[in-house]
Structure formats: C-alpha cells, structure tokens
Amino acid sequence: MVDVFSGRLLVSKDGRSVDPEEALQNKVVGLYFSAGWCSPCRDFTPVLCDFYTDLLEECQPPAPFEVVFISSDHSAEEMVSYMHSMHGDWLALPFHDPYKQSWRMGEVPEDWKIASVTSVFKKGKNEDLGNYAPVSLTSVPGKVVKELVLDVSSKQLEEKKFIRSS
C-alpha cells in the first residue's frame, strides 16, 4: 500500500505534511472514501473513529493499522472542516492531489494490479491443478490486524447493544 502513495505527501488532522513511506510502512491501510456532505458518511465516521481509537489503545504495541481519508468534499475548506469536526487522528490525501481524480473515475492504480502468486503443492500428481492449495495474498500482519479488527468490532457492537454476546 505504501507504493500507492509513493512520491506523494499525506496530511495529518493538524495539517502537517506526512511522508507515507514512514507513516504506512508495515501497516495494514484502510482507505476511507468519504465527504462531509454525505449523510451516511457522517453517520459512519464516528463509528470508524471509535473503532480506530479502540484498536490502537487496546493493543500494545499499537496495532499496525492506519486509515487514509480520501475526500469527496467539494472544496479543501469543506474537507478540513469535516476532518476537524468528526475524524480520528488519521491521515488524508491532500484535497488537490491529482491522484484523487483517477480514483473518482474508477481507475485502479497499476501497483494494485501487480501480485506474486505461488501455488502450494498438497499431494498427488503435480500435473493435476486440483492438487495445489489456494494461496492467500494477505500478509501475516494483515491477518493479525484482521483478528484485532474482528475482536475490537465485536466488543464495540456488544457494548452498543447491536449484537448480544454468545
């Protein structure tokens, strides 16, 4: 994910420029496409903010997880206002970054299309493709964060009475 932001700068909630190479290295990154004018987004943002805070506070050392906000607001001022009023302490792609335009048009960055897939032989004849195990492209840190995310979100849902504990 760091490669996707290579050569760019991100901004923090307090307006500082942040090098994505340093901030996102060895972390699972969640891209949050949102806007202050979007009612469902405004409903979900506090939930994400609570989740993000809980995830980082409950884990020692903090979970290797970061959110990058990609704004669909109509102006830089709207984006900053939305970030200050509702967002967690996560990073954002600057409002005028040309990269946002490609995402709005549905273009997928080339770096996201590249993958290295290795089949794992299970048993039997190696000529038979059915004898190879499926390969997960999820990294080990990604799997760990997935478990942390499930744990924290389950706790939040139980505490807010969205689900009953089993």
The pLDDT, as a whole number, for residue 116 is: 47
User: What is the fold of 2-114?
Assistant: Glutaredoxin (3.40.30)
> Looking at 9-18, 35-44, 68-77, 142-151, which range is the least confident one?
142-151
Average pLDDT over residues 123-131: 67
Average pLDDT over residues 66-94: 91
Give Cα separations from 63 to 56, 59, 79, 100, 136 (angstroms): 6, 6, 27, 27, 21
Residue 50, phi then psi, degrees to nearest 5: -60, -45
Pairing of strands 91-92, 120-121: unpaired
Q: Residue 134: pLDDT above 80?
A: no
The pLDDT, as a whole number, for residue 81 is: 94
Question: Do residues 30 and 69 lie in contact, with contact meaning Cβ atoms separated by under 8 Å?
Answer: no
Claim: this prediction has a pTM higher than 0.85: no
Q: Helical H runs in the chain?
A: 20-24, 39-58, 76-86, 99-104, 110-113, 140-159
d(CA 137, CA 140): 9
Give Cα separations from 85 to 41, 57, 113, 134 (angstroms): 13, 21, 35, 44
> For all residues of the chain together, what is the average pLDDT?
76
Average pLDDT over residues 133-158: 61
